[in-house]
Chains A and B, each alone.
Chain A
Amino acid sequence: MKITPQLIQDHGLKPDEYERIVQILGREPNLTELGVYSVMWSEHCGYKHSRALLKKLPTQGKKVLQGPGENAGILDVGNGWAVVFKIESHNHPSAVEPYQGAATGVGGILRDIFTMGARPIAILNALRFGPLSNLKSRQLLTGVIRGIADYGNCMGIPTVAGEVSFDDSYLDNCLVNAMCVGVIRHDKIIKGVASGVENSVIYIGATTGRDGIHGATFASTEISEKSQEKRSAVQVADPFMEKLLMEATLELIEKNLLIGIQDMGAAGLTCSTCEMASRGNMGIEIDVSKVPLRELKMNPYEILLSESQERMLLVAKPGCEAEIHSILKKWDLNAATIGKVTETGLMVVKHEGEKVVEVPAQSLTDPPMYHPQKLEPAFLAEYRSFRESSIPVPTNFNQILLRLLADPTIASKQFIYQQYDHMVQTNTIVLPGSDAAVLRIKETNQGLAMSVDGNGIYCLLNPYEGGKIAVAEAARNVACSGAVPIGLTNCLNFGNPEKPEVFYMFEKVVEGMSDASVALEIPITGGNVSFYNESQLGPIDPTPIIGVIGVLDDVSKHVTQWFKKSGDLIYLIGEVNDLIGGSRYLQVVHGKKTGICPTIDLKNAKLLYQCLNELANKRLIQSAHDCSEGGLAVAISECCFTGIACGKPLIGAKINMAWHGRMDGILFGESQSRVLISFSPQEKKLVDQILSTYGMTFQQIGVVGGSQLLIEQAVQIDVEYIAEQFFSSLEHQVNSGGKA
């Protein structure tokens, strides 16, 4: 077939990119080769617009065993154990086919973890939807939740934490970011590398069909009315197959039979073949007529570009092939030796005896790198000029508190997480509903704390501060559980990077994240960029999602967020101020998505985490809770009642603090780096001493007790009543069409 300019454009390649391919090959590519380049050089696989910037991220640290560039990042947790983790987006597929899109998103991230030899112990996710008053948002939410639930539940991997929020900007482009955490002994870590000339290349897992062809290219364009026609670019999930694949893979690695292994995710067989060859500076030659197919008469183009799920490619150690095949037979899985490692550096593909692809493997993994134009969007100045005095201070704080607690972004996500098995594997020590989930590592005394977080509106108002806050807040969640944050993974969800305003925001967010990561000494071990989250309505709010891992050397020292005992003292660590810019309060109550974004002092944040760790280590505090969306009043309320999700009684509090300024800002403003702690009065001296040592600003703001939440001059309300609103609101709004 003649390669025409139209064909090149249909493959999402630009004319100069095509020229570059011709130069590399010294000839025109054939259609199959064009397809292979188009997926590997798509934004999704090739990070063309983001790579230059991402290279500047801090990825080094004492505990980093594996940084970016592999299937997942790895951190040392001591005692010979390591944690393997990564987050990835599945936004585009979920926007057109929510159930399969979300399910395969989970499946893909799980494979990234067990392909390194680690057993997955937890799934987390971050989701964004349009308002629940919109039917499509409700359908997307329902489908996405079911997709995540069916996949994780069937696999027997607990979904332990997550965050969900709702905003107009995600109406057409919902976000589905899935994170997986696994644990592994250091000596079992394996990578996606091919080496050893003549070693066998083996395909295992599900058969290859026509689903998902050009999924990576599809994920690299904006969502439009035509997107529905591309539903065939969405893959179909089979979690049972993945469960078998996981057990078989872990058995192969445990028995030391492999040189390298890589899952087939985006760009399928093409990507796994050229990436393994490229990492090992080798070539790979495969014969696609040997690939197990589920459909008749598939041509090499289709076989190479299929994104059928639940498949792996591995390079066998010499002499181990027979044992590999017998293990796969035990698990009733397909296995086919489809090729061998070569020294040529070429990716060669044959089909029925004919050579259909012959290209340098490294050229596929080294796509063009762009430095896009950037331009500060005009709206930033507008947000900065917002005057808080233009908002009248209301008086009905009881009602406002209720409204915020019932806001689906703030309300309990119990309706969602009860659809996920969050207990299987019997490691979940802190169930969903506290700042961070805590899991034990059974073989040691240690615990892992984990959290995902991100706040689109802060990044919209001030991308640099927003990027800093995203990292600091996710780390603060982990620190509140008593753990030391040791590393992070990130998923950057943005609009079209070819638009200078979008790229400006992207660059600022990445700079903010990078500065926070350096200051907090939490290295970035990997992540994922999802661009083109954009429709006729415009781009989504810039949404970096940060997943942080923390370690507790003694898991029994973990801390939860709810008040425990009547008579305990309540302290607020951090500033009391009345700024309302960027707050959920300003949006929900006054309908204004604007203002000056909160700022964060990173030096202070670092000290705060160390301070929380010491308080937990000395078992001095009964609870610690991060103040986030909804501000101080929402955070105090949550301390009163969130224990009931874990079978603990609810309890009131009496608050009386020193303040000045506007009361709505004091109660609902979202100043950063603030944590509520409670502790027994007899520990007061020690707690005060530790807080002072770390230079914390703090004050006693109240006492735990009673059945009401009392905030002097503002709020008086039964805890049972607000708890009911908080726990039932989301389900009610999903069923009733967003009516509170």
Chain B
Amino acid sequence: MRFSIIVFPGSNCDHDCEYAIRQVLKNPVEMIWHKNTDLKNPDCVVIPGGFSYGDYLRTGAIARFSPIMESIFNFANKGGLVIGICNGFQILCEAQFLPGVLLKNKNLRFVCRNTYVRVDEVDTPFTNQCKNSSVLSMPIAHGEGNFFIDEEGLKKLEDQHQIIMRYCNSKGQITDESNPNGSLKNIAGICNQARNIFGLMPHPERVCEKELGGIDGQLIWQSISNS
């Protein structure tokens, strides 16, 4: 499985993703500067976390106009896999690859801490190695991760099983206390209708080694590798 990681000015989880995919999971990786248009023939494109363009205007709002975005659009239209993590998720929403928006956290503060998410859909290229309703421990680090969508949009997401993971407590219960940012229905990650584009706020690349406190993130990368 060949991965290409997109590097925007202000991306800062690009090297963390590279390390997890290359060093820990032993898959080949290319780093792609956003001004280029060649994705270098990947099987999966990774849009990493960070502060692309300093989050100026709105998170992800400027990155969507980068030259590489058209290549990603064409790649995804042909069924290529795209995963956007944190700022990557924000960019995917801004570019309308995914529905909904990510608002400021409910308490208006940046939050970095561990969370639990329940995997509600395992029939995707990104979660096929997870057990249904399994609980993963993954950290978040964002100021704008409060997912919102209108009623009609939410119904569509639910009907088509696009809500892939939700924040929960350690027992897998979806509660208000376990919602770290005010996301609608505790939503932590969704996919598009075709199920080849996935956006999530938690950082799987940060929990791929025991030394870092957990390896649950490996399941996401292994799922992609197995697709």
User: Chain A interface (Cβ within 8 Å of chain B)?
Assistant: 149-150, 153-156, 238-241, 243-244, 330-332, 417-426, 428-429, 431, 440, 442, 555-556, 646-647
Considering the complex, give the chain B residue whose CB is closest to the CB of A422.
B112
Q: Contacts A155-B12, A424-B12 given: A647-B114 contact, CB under 8 Å?
A: yes
The distance from the CB of A531 to the nearest CB of chain B, in whole angstroms, is: 33
Cross-chain pairs A/B with CB under 8 angstroms, 11 sampled? A153-B112, A156-B12, A156-B50, A238-B54, A239-B54, A244-B9, A421-B141, A422-B112, A425-B16, A555-B211, A647-B213
CA distance A429 to B113 in the complex (A): 14
Given A153, A419, A423, which contacts B139 in the complex, CB threshold below 8 Å? Answer: A423
Known pairs A156-B50, A238-B54; A556 contacts B211 (CB<8 A)? yes
The 10 closest A-B pairs by CB, nearest first: A156-B12, A240-B54, A154-B51, A421-B141, A426-B16, A421-B112, A419-B110, A418-B113, A149-B110, A423-B206
Taking the closest CB of chain B, its distance from the CB of A250, in whole angstroms, is: 12
Given that A238-B54, A426-B206 are contacting pairs, would A421 and B110 also be in contact in the complex, using a CB cutoff of 8 Å? yes
Contact A426 B19, beta carbon cutoff 8 Å:
yes
Residues of B within 8 A of A244 (CB): 9-10
CA of A156 to CA of B203, assembled, Å: 14
Is the Cβ of A424 less than 8 Å from the Cβ of B137? no
Q: Which of A238, A241, A330, A419 is within 8 Å of B111, CB to CB?
A: A419
Q: Flag whether B121 is at the interface (Cβ < 8 A).
A: no
Contact B112 A429 (CB under 8 A): no
What is the minimal beta-carbon distance from B67 to any residue of chain A, in angstroms?
13
- For A330, the chain B residues whose CB sits under 8 A away are 33, 35
- Please tell me if the beta carbons of B15 and A154 are within 8 angstroms of each other in the complex: no
With A330-B33, A429-B211 known, 15 other A-B pairs at CB within 8 A are A153-B112, A154-B10, A154-B55, A155-B12, A156-B50, A239-B54, A243-B51, A244-B10, A330-B35, A418-B111, A423-B141, A426-B206, A431-B213, A556-B211, A647-B137
State how many angstroms separate the Cβ of B149 from the closest Cβ of chain A.
Answer: 26
Closest B residue to A440 by beta carbon equals B211
Is B20 a contact of A419 with CB atoms below 8 Å? Answer: no
Contact partners of A241 in chain B: CB under 8 A: 54
- Give Cα A244–Cα B10 distance, bound, in whole angstroms: 7
Among A418, A428, A429, A442, max chain B CB count under 10 A is at: A418
B109 near A: Cβ within 8 Å?
A: yes
B205 and A426: CB pair below 8 A? yes
CA distance A428 to B55 in the complex (A): 25
Residue of B nearest to A332 (CB): B9
Set A240, A429, A556: member contacting B56, Cβ < 8 A: A240
Measured CA separation A331–B20 after assembly (Å): 26
- Give chain A residues whose Cβ lies under 8 Å from the Cβ of B112: 153, 417-423
Most chain B beta-carbon contacts within 10 A, residue among A149, A154, A238? A154
Given A426-B205, A429-B212, A442-B19, A240-B53 contact (CB < 8 Å): yes
CB distance from A591 to the nearest CB of B (A): 33
Measured in the bound complex, the distance between the Cα atoms of B111 and A153 in whole Å is: 10
A331 cross-chain contacts in B, Cβ below 8 A: 9
Number of interface residues of B (CB under 8 A): 34
| Smallest Cβ-Cβ distance to B17: which chain A residue | A426
In whole angstroms, what is the CA distance A417 to B111 when docked?
9
Residues of A within 8 A of B15 (CB): 425
On whether the beta carbons of B19 and A156 are closer than 8 Å, the reply is no
Contact indicator A424/B16 (Cβ below 8 Å)? yes
CB contacts (< 8 Å) of A422 on chain B: these are: 112
Q: Is the CB of A154 within 8 A of B54?
A: yes
Residues of chain A contacted by B19 (CB below 8 angstroms): 426, 442
Say yes or no: A153 contacts B51, CB within 8 Å: yes
Give the distance in Å from the alpha carbon of A647 to the alpha carbon of B114 in the complex. Answer: 8
- Chain A residues, CB < 8 A from B209: 426
- B212 A426 Cβ-Cβ under 8 A: yes
Give the docked Cα–Cα distance between A647 and B137 (Å): 10
Q: Once bound together, how far apart are the Cα atoms of A239 and B54, in whole Å?
A: 7
**Shortest beta-carbon distance from B109 to chain A in Å:** 6
Q: Mark B194-220, 1 if CB is under 8 A from A, else 0.
A: 000000000101100101110000000
Tell me whether B13 is interfacial, beta carbon within 8 Å: yes
* Residues in B whose Cβ lies below 8 Å from that of A240: 9-10, 51, 53-56
> What's the nearest-Cβ distance from chain A to residue B82, in Å?
22
CA distance A330 to B15 in the complex (A): 19
- A717, chain B: closest CB distance, angstroms: 24
Of B9, B53, B55, most buried by chain A (CB within 10 Å of CB) is B9
Q: Whole-angstrom distance between the alpha carbons of A429 and B205 in the complex?
A: 15
A604 to B147, CA, bound (A): 56
Q: Shortest CB–CB separation between residue A577 and chain B, in angstroms?
A: 38
Select from chain B the residue with minimum beta-carbon distance to A648.
Answer: B213
Alpha-carbon distance between A65 and B20 when the two chains are bound, in angstroms: 33
Which residue on chain A has the smallest CB distance to residue B19? A426
Whole-angstrom distance between the Cβ of B88 and the nearest chain A Cβ: 14
Q: How far is the CA of A647 from the CA of B111 in the complex (A)?
A: 16
Chain A residues near B212: list those with CB within 8 A: 423, 426, 428-429
Please give me the residue from chain B that is nearest to A427 by CB atom.
B212
B10 contact set on A, CB distance < 8 A: 154, 240, 243-244
Q: Which residues of B contact A150 (CB under 8 A)?
A: 110
Closest residue of chain B to A155 (Cβ to Cβ) is B12
Q: Which of B114, B139, B211 is packed against the most chain A CB atoms within 10 Å?
A: B211
Q: How long is the Cα–Cα vector from A417 to B112 in the complex, in angstroms? A: 8
Specify which chain A residues have a CB less than 8 angstroms from the CB of B56 in the assembled complex: 240
Question: How far is it, in angstroms, between the C-alpha of A156 and the C-alpha of B55 when the chains are bound?
Answer: 13
Residues of B within 8 A of A647 (CB): 114, 137, 213
Once the chains are docked, how many angstroms separate the CA of A422 from the CA of B53?
21
- Chain B residues numbered 43-87 whose CB sits less than 8 Å from any CB in chain A: 49-51, 53-56
How distant is A183 from chain B, measured CB to nearest CB, in Å?
Answer: 14
Cα–Cα distance between A420 and B213 once the two chains are bound (Å):
18
Contact residues in B for A426 (Cβ distance below 8 Å)? 16, 19-20, 205-206, 209, 212
Chain A residues within 8 Å of B50, by CB? 156
Residue of B nearest to A119 (CB): B15
A425–B206 Cα distance when bound, in Å, is 8
Question: Nearest CB to that of B53 among chain A residues?
Answer: A240
CB-based contact A153/B110 at 8 Å: yes
- Give A417 to B110 CA distance when docked, in angstroms: 10
> B76-128: which have CB < 8 Å to A?
109-114
**Distance to closest chain A CB from B115 (angstroms):** 11
User: Do A424 and B141 contact each other (CB < 8 Å), given the known contacts A419-B111, A440-B211?
Assistant: yes
Nearest-neighbour CB distance to chain B for A501, whole angstroms, equals 41
Residues of A within 8 A of B113 (CB): 418
Closest to B35 in A: A330
Q: How far apart sit A150 and B142, CA to CA, in the bound complex (Å)? A: 11
Task: Please report the C-alpha to C-alpha distance between residue A150 and residue B108 in the assembled complex, in whole angstroms.
Answer: 13
Contacts of A332 in B (CB 8 A): 9
A424 and B13: CB pair below 8 A?
Answer: yes
Q: Which residue of B lies closest to A154 (CB)?
A: B51
Contacts of B54 in A (CB 8 A): 154, 238-241, 243
Q: Which residues of B contact A424 (CB under 8 A)?
A: 12-13, 16, 49, 141, 206
The residues of A that contact B137 with a CB separation of less than 8 Å are 647
* Chain A neighbourhood of B139, CB < 8 A: 423
Shortest CB-to-CB span from A143 to chain B, Å, is: 13
User: Could you say which residues of chain B place their CB within 8 Å of the CB of A423?
Assistant: 112, 139, 141, 203, 206, 212
Contact between B9 and A153, CB atoms less than 8 A apart:
no
Q: What separation, in Å, do the CA atoms of A423 and B203 have in the docked complex?
A: 10
User: Which chain B residue shows the least CB distance to A647?
Assistant: B114
